[in-house]
Copies of this chain bind each other. A is one copy, B any other.
Amino acid sequence: MTRLYSIGIDLGGTNVKFALIKNSKKVVDKRVLATKDYKTKEELISQLALTVSDILRVNKIKRSGLTGLGIGAAGLVDFNRGFIHSLTNIKGWDNVPLGKILSGKLKVKVFVDNDVNVVTLGEHKYGAGRGFDNLVCLTLGTGVGAGLILNGSLYRGPSFTAGEVGHIPINVRGPKCNCGGRGCLERYVGNRYIIQMAKKLAADNKQSKMYKLVEGKVNKLTPKIVSEAARLKDKAAIQVWQKIGQYIGVALSGLINLLNPEIIIIGGGVSLAGKPLFDSIRKTVSKRAMPNPASKVKIVPAKLGEDAGVIGASILAASEKNK
């Protein structure tokens, strides 16, 4: 019997999303759980198994019709062993052999990987990165991370920590970063620092749309509101994205000089800022990166949006090539 189906799970701090996928790309069924409804990891793992069983039952799919189950989770994951060392947004998940537990319960193959790697696989196979063998998929949000496809394969690194673009230092004497380093990219363009910059610019420009959108309560500013103000042509908001784009562009220039990628895909909440951000990144790269690799690289927004996680996770299960 041909195995047509795979299941992808996006294990996040807020939600756990499931997708049943047919022929590697068609989403046939979806489920969402609220992560916080489950008090312990044991409860949540049981619910993962129950939900998968239920998806199979409802869709009348036998286990023999499933290539496997793929899971993406934000944290340090040993892909080879399906072992979670730690999760960034869910407490109590240190040293969990999730692959082994779930494959024991469900009698299907289970693959577990880092969430950004999984999104990168998704963008590579079905999104903005189709047809490119060398790409960087950057996610901008609270944290700044990336997945690397090099010579056609996901590059995880020997201890599975590769891709930490957010912790490339762009300033030798820069401010301290959570990671222990100094002047890391994330320390300039992580959500909270974007908000910090926006607050200051809004407070200094009380006529700005950014200031007016929050009725002067600058503590209410979010990257989304800054984007909205920028779309309304607010100079202060546009200035925020220009500065953020410069920092990102400088870090990407180093990455381009080092890895010579064909395409850099940018996703995550912050990327929704769109044109003013991307214009600034591209301008900085064309000024700062070396001419040859700069002329070869495209810098584009991600395509898969909120489904990138489940689709990417299902790819882990659909193709042994991603091992």
Instruction: List residues of chain B with CB within 8 A of the CB of A287.
Output: 180
Counting every copy of the chain, the complex holds: 2
- A296 surroundings in chain B (CB, below 8 A): 158-159
CB distance B167 to A170 under 8 Å? no
Minimum C-beta distance from A151 to chain B (A): 7
Q: In the complex, which residues 237-283 of chain A have their Cβ closer than 8 Å to any Cβ of chain B?
A: 246-247, 250-251, 253-255, 257-262
Q: Which residue of B lies closest to A160 (CB)?
A: B260
The B-contacting residues of A in range 288-308, CB under 8 angstroms, are 288-293, 296
Contact (Cβ within 8 A) A134 B151? no
- Once the chains are docked, how many angstroms separate the CA of A152 from the CA of B167? 25
The number of residues on chain A lying at the interface, defined by a beta carbon within 8 Å of a beta carbon of chain B, is 50
Q: How far is the CA of A173 from the CA of B251 in the complex (A)?
A: 12
> Which single residue of chain B is at the shortest CB-CB distance from A259?
B162
Q: Which of B151, B180, B254, B293 contacts A290 (CB 8 A)?
A: B180
Most B Cβ at <10 Å: residue of A160, A161, A165: A161
User: Whole-angstrom distance between the alpha carbons of A168 and B259 in the complex?
Assistant: 11
Given A159-B292, A180-B288, A292-B159, A257:B172 Cβ within 8 A: no
**Residue A192 at the B interface, CB < 8 A?**
no
Chain B nearest CB, measured from A95 CB (Å):
14
Contact A288:B157 (CB < 8 A) given known A150-B150, A170-B172, A254-B167: no
What 1/0 mask marks residues of chain A from 160 to 198 whose CB sits below 8 Å from any chain B CB? 111111011111110000011110000000000000000
Bound Cα distance from A9 to B65, whole angstroms: 56
Given known A163-B258, A260-B157, contact A253–B290 (CB-CB < 8 A): no
- Tell me the complex Cα distance, A293–B180, Å: 13
Query: Could you tell me the distance between the alpha carbons of A45 and B160 in the complex, rounded to whole angstroms?
Result: 46
B164 contacts A257, C-beta separation under 8 Å: yes
What are the residues of chain B within 8 A of A161 when measuring CB–CB?
257, 260, 290, 292-293
Asked if B167 and A257 make an inter-chain contact with CB atoms under 8 angstroms apart, the answer reads: yes
Which residues on the B side are within 8 Å of A153 (C-beta)? 151
Q: Is the CB of B169 within 8 A of A253?
A: yes
- Could you list some 16 contacts between A and B, CB below 8 A? A148-B258, A150-B151, A157-B260, A157-B261, A158-B262, A164-B257, A164-B258, A167-B253, A167-B290, A168-B254, A169-B170, A169-B253, A169-B288, A170-B170, A180-B289, A181-B257
Top-5 shortest CB links A-B: A157-B260, A168-B254, A164-B257, A167-B257, A162-B260
